[in-house]
């Protein structure tokens, strides 16, 4: 009787869920651009996902309130909770991809796991996938990954920039120095391994690797080894969520100097340095944008969204690292739409048109000034082959109250990285039988 019973259960569920499966009543030619938000406000990474989602939505609200949308096209949005689960992320993607008059504008998953699950789906559904500062580094090769965008910088770029920073601090040479790499044992943490392993050979530093099992609360043994036995000159960490404050606390416990400790930009927010308290003073992290509220677009958000009480989340998050990162992600999506409109006209853009916009994005200083991003991020320019846009990385340091810059913008070694991207994407293309696009013929 099993199949019969199973079927009735299935049928029941189908009837229950039928209203969900029906497409939302599409307003024909509605002058709206639908931008979905895959967020996580619950689950182990909820404290980090919340400010990001707030910043993302607040920026979109600000564009609507200040400019009445993108060139008159009003932005609509809907949030879907992924709880940082890959399967829920896929569900959210499928739920939101066809909403709005032209479907989802772009997808920002904020999770390396969800990114990997969506690479093929977005290519099939013709929706750009924006993985800003995470995800698959070789996705920067636009010839093989036409639908994926990694701007402004990838993990590969970031690792190279961090090592460059350490090199400059160590007097220009890393020969014979020791660097420990401690990482979240997942696709996220393993991503930059090829870069640091290669740099270790080329620059002659001694590399020790420490994978930390998810979620990263158990690091005592690792830090005893780092702090008492290896005593490296620097520690680089690829962590997310609860792993970061734990690492900082443990570093303090074994007396490893925090000002020799550099985190990935996902380990460089207020949520990471507040719990350890004074132990976090001097800790450094990479970043690709400014922090705080002292930028024109932040004042616009303040005036147009927060003042009228339209803010998405708690006011204390505004201006924090992850809030600003949410805003910069939203800004890149909006700018891609704007760029696409220059070519296709001021109407709602389809995924394919937005993809063109992402590929021809040119955030030069004038454009950045118009966006109110002066001093917030450096210029950026993408092309058919380069979906990373030549982003640069900067190192910031926590002084106990706020983040301060301790380096200038560092230009990653583009030649080496490009070579590595192409090696990675070539392998992917071979496995998937993808013929790389010829970028010479792209308009």
Partner 1 sequence: MIYRESGQFKTSYATDQAIFPILQDRIALAILLLVAFVGAPMFASDYFLTTILIPFLVFSVAALGLNILTGYCGQLSLGTGGFMACGAFAAYKIATAFPDLNIVFVFLLAGGAAALVGVVFGLPSLRIKGFYLAVATLAAQFFLIWLFTKVPWFVNYSPSGVISAPPRAVFGFFVTGIEATSHAKYIFCLAFVALLALVAKNLVRGRVGRAWMAIRDMDIAAEIIGIRPLHTKLLAFAVSSFYCGVAGALWAFIYTSSVEALAFDINRSFQILFMIIIGGLGSILGSFMGAAFIVMLPILLNAGPTALGTPLSTSTIAHLELMTFGSLIIFFLVVEPHGLARLWQIGKEKLRLWPFPH
| CA–CA gap between residue 227 and residue 233 (Å, rounded) | 10
By CB under 8 A, residue 10 contacts partner 1 = yes
Q: Site mask, partner 1, residues 55-94, x = CB under 8 A?
A: -----------------------xxxx-x--xxx-xx--x
Among 25, 29, 124, 201, binds partner 1 (CB under 8 A): 124
Q: Nearer to partner 1 by C-beta: 20 or 28?
A: 20
The window from 237-245, 251-259, 300-308, 429-437 that contacts partner 1 (CB under 8 A) reads 429-437
Q: Which of 166, 184, 183 is nearest to 175 (CA)?
A: 166
Residue 36 CB, nearest approach to partner 1 (Å): 11
Q: How many residues bind partner 1 (CB under 8 A)?
A: 63
CB 367 within 8 A of CB 331: no
Q: Nearer to partner 1 by C-beta: 94 or 202?
A: 94
Joined together, the tokens standing for residue 438 give 């010829």
Which 138-197 positions form the footprint of partner 1 (CB under 8 A)? Answer: 185-187, 190-191, 193-194
CB 235 within 8 A of CB 206: no
Which 190-209 positions form the footprint of partner 1 (CB under 8 A)? Answer: 190-191, 193-194
Residue 413 CB, nearest approach to partner 1 (Å): 18
Among 119, 127, 163, 328, binds partner 1 (CB under 8 A): 119
Joined together, the tokens standing for residue 364 give 């030069």
Q: Which of 200, 366, 403, 188 is nearest to 284 (CA)?
A: 403
Q: Nearer to partner 1 by C-beta: 86 or 346?
A: 86
Residue listed under structure tokens 């497409």: 23
Q: Which of 294, 295, 319 is nearest to 306 (CA)?
A: 319
3-state secondary structure of 111: coil
Among 31, 42, 274, 404, binds partner 1 (CB under 8 A): 42
By CB under 8 A, residue 436 contacts partner 1 = no
Q: Nearer to partner 1 by C-beta: 9 or 369?
A: 9
Q: Nearer to partner 1 by C-beta: 43 or 275?
A: 43
Q: Nearer to partner 1 by C-beta: 128 or 372?
A: 128
One-character DSSP codes across 250-299: HHHHTT--GGGEEE-GGG-SHHHHSTTGGGGTT-EEEESS--SS-SHHHH
Q: Which of 238, 267, 285, 260 is nearest to 137 (CA)?
A: 238
Q: Which of 228, 227, 234 is nearest to 203 (CA)?
A: 234
Residue 41 CB, nearest approach to partner 1 (Å): 4
Helix residue spans in 292-320 (DSSP H): 296-301
Q: Please, which residues have CB within 8 angstroms of residue 93's CB and are 6 or more apart in sequence?
A: 36, 38, 107, 109, 114, 118, 121, 122
By CB under 8 A, residue 5 contacts partner 1 = yes
| CA–CA gap between residue 303 and residue 281 (Å, rounded) | 33
Beta-ladder partners of 269: none
Burial (CB < 10 A; 0-12, 13-18, 19+), residue 334, is: buried
One-character DSSP codes across 349-390: PPHHHHHHHHHT-EE-HHHHHHHT-TTTS--EE--SSBSS--
Taking the alpha carbons of 71, 74, 79, 85 in that order, is the dihedral positive or negative? Answer: negative
Which 382-421 positions form the footprint of partner 1 (CB under 8 A)? Answer: none
By CB under 8 A, residue 120 contacts partner 1 = yes
The window from 2-10, 159-167, 292-300, 368-376 that contacts partner 1 (CB under 8 A) reads 2-10
Residue 48 CB, nearest approach to partner 1 (Å): 14
By CB under 8 A, residue 441 contacts partner 1 = no
Q: Site mask, partner 1, residues 213-252, x = CB under 8 A?
A: -x--------------------------------------
By CB under 8 A, residue 4 contacts partner 1 = yes
Q: Nearer to partner 1 by C-beta: 19 or 255?
A: 19
Residues making contact with partner 1 (CB under 8 A): 1-11, 13-14, 16-17, 19-23, 39, 41-42, 50, 53, 78-81, 83, 86-88, 90-91, 94-95, 98, 112-113, 116-117, 119-121, 123-124, 136, 185-187, 190-191, 193-194, 211, 214, 312, 424, 427, 431-433
């Amino acid at each position: 009787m099993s199949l019969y019973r199973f079927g009735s259960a299935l049928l029941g569920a189908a009837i229950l869920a039928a209203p969900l499966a029906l497409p939302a009543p599409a307003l024909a030619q509605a002058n709206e651009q639908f931008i979905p938000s895959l967020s996580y406000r619950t689950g182990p990474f909820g404290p980090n996902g919340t400010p990001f989602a707030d910043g993302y939505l607040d920026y979109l609200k600000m564009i609507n309130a200040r400019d009445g949308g993108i060139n008159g096209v009003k932005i609509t949005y809907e949030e879907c909770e992924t709880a940082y689960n890959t399967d829920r992320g896929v569900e959210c993607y499928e739920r939101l991809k066809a909403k709005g008059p032209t479907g989802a504008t772009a997808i920002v998953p904020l999770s390396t796991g969800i990114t990997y699950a969506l690479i093929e789906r977005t290519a099939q559904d013709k929706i750009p996938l924006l993985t800003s500062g995470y995800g698959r580094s070789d996705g920067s090769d636009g010839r093989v990954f036409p639908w994926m965008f990694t701007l402004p910088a990838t993990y590969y770029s970031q690792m190279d920039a961090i090592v460059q920073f350490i090199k400059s601090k160590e007097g220009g040479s890393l020969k014979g120095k020791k660097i420990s790499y401690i990482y979240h044992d997942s696709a996220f943490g393993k991503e930059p391994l090829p870069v640091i392993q290669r740099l270790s050979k080329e620059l002659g530093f001694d590399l020790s690797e420490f994978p930390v099992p998810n979620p990263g609360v158990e690091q005592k043994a690792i830090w005893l080894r780092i702090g008492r036995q290896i005593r490296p000159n620097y520690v680089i960490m690829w962590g997310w969520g609860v792993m970061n404050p734990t690492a900082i606390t443990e570093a303090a416990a074994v007396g490893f100097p925090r000002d020799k400790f550099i985190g990935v930009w996902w380990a460089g927010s207020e949520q990471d340095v507040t719990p350890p308290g004074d132990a976090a003073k001097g800790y450094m992290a990479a970043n690709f944008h400014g922090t705080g509220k002292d930028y024109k677009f932040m004042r616009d958000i303040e005036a147009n969204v927060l003042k009228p009480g339209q803010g998405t989340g708690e006011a204390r998050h505004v201006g924090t690292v992850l809030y600003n990162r949410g805003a910069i992600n939203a800004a890149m999506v909006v700018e891609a739409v704007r760029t696409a409109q220059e070519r296709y006209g001021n109407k709602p853009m389809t995924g394919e048109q937005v993809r063109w916009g992402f590929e021809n994005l040119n955030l030069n200083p004038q454009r950045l000034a118009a966006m109110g991003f002066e001093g917030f991020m450096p210029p950026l320019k993408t092309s058919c082959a380069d979906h990373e846009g030549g982003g640069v990385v900067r190192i910031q340091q926590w002084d106990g109250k706020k983040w301060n810059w301790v380096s200038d913008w560092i230009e990653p070694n583009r030649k080496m990285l490009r070579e590595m991207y192409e090696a990675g994407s070539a392998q992917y293309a071979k496995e998937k039988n993808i013929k790389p696009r010829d970028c010479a013929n792209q308009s």
